[in-house]
């Protein structure tokens, strides 16, 4: 078990990223904001995000609850890396339905149309970059 108080958050984050890449479970001792008693959870990390104010959030499947949960890195008191593989299936992300084209005179409808368009991943195709591609240098 590694105590997060005795190491840098960079080291903790590197270990958690490694577990995520290898798809290995991690047991954490976690103190949720506002709670007084820490809980012990075995999680399967799928994503690490940052909040608007710079906090780091771990998105993982919780084996206790059997559903996706978010844990703030600042609340992780200690952790243990395991070699056991993931066993829970992550739910598919929800898709936003694109609304019908908005009338040109409604700014609110246009805003929500553009927001839904930006969140729709169906039209996105990743672009492979090569070293000779100079169109990105402009």
Q: What is the pLDDT of residues 80-102, one digit of tens each?
A: 999 999 998 887 766 656 555 55
Query: How far is 8 from 121, CA to CA, in rounded Å?
Result: 36
Residues 24 and 44 in one domain: yes
Residue 75: φ, ψ to 5°: -90, -10
In a domain? residue 113: yes
Indicate if 50 and 99 belong to the same structural domain.
no
* Statement to judge: residues 19 and 73 lie in one domain: yes
User: CA 87 → CA 46, 62, 82, 108, distances in Å?
Assistant: 12, 11, 13, 43
Q: Does 50 share its domain with 101?
A: no
Q: Which of 9-13, 67-71, 98-102 has the lowest mean pLDDT?
A: 98-102
Considering the domain boundaries, does residue 109 fall inside one?
A: yes
**pLDDT tens, 42-53?**
999 999 998 888
- Model-wide pTM > 0.85: no
Task: Give the total number of structural domains in the chain.
Answer: 2
The CATH number of the domain where 30 resides is what?
A: 2.30.30
The residue range of the domain holding 66 is: 2-85
Cβ atoms within 10 A of the Cβ of 58, count?
24
Residue 136 forms part of a structural domain: no
pLDDT band at 138 (very low <50, low <70, confident <90, very high): very low
On whether both 71 and 103 belong to a single domain, the answer is: no
Q: Is the pLDDT of residue 34 over 50?
A: yes
């Amino acid at each position: 078990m590694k105590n997060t108080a005795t190491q840098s958050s960079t080291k903790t984050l590197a270990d958690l990223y490694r577990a995520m890449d290898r798809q290995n479970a991690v047991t954490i001792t976690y103190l949720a904001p506002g709670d007084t008693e820490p809980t012990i959870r075995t999680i399967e990390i799928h994503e690490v995000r940052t909040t608007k104010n710079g906090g780091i959030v771990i998105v993982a499947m919780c084996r206790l609850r059997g559903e996706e949960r978010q844990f703030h890195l600042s609340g992780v008191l200690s952790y243990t890396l395991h070699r056991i593989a993931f066993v829970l299936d992550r739910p598919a992300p929800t898709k936003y339905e694109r609304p019908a084209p908005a009338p040109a005179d409604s700014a609110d409808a246009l805003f929500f149309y553009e927001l839904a368009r930006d969140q729709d991943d169906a039209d996105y195709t990743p672009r492979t970059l090569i070293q000779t591609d100079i169109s990105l240098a402009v």
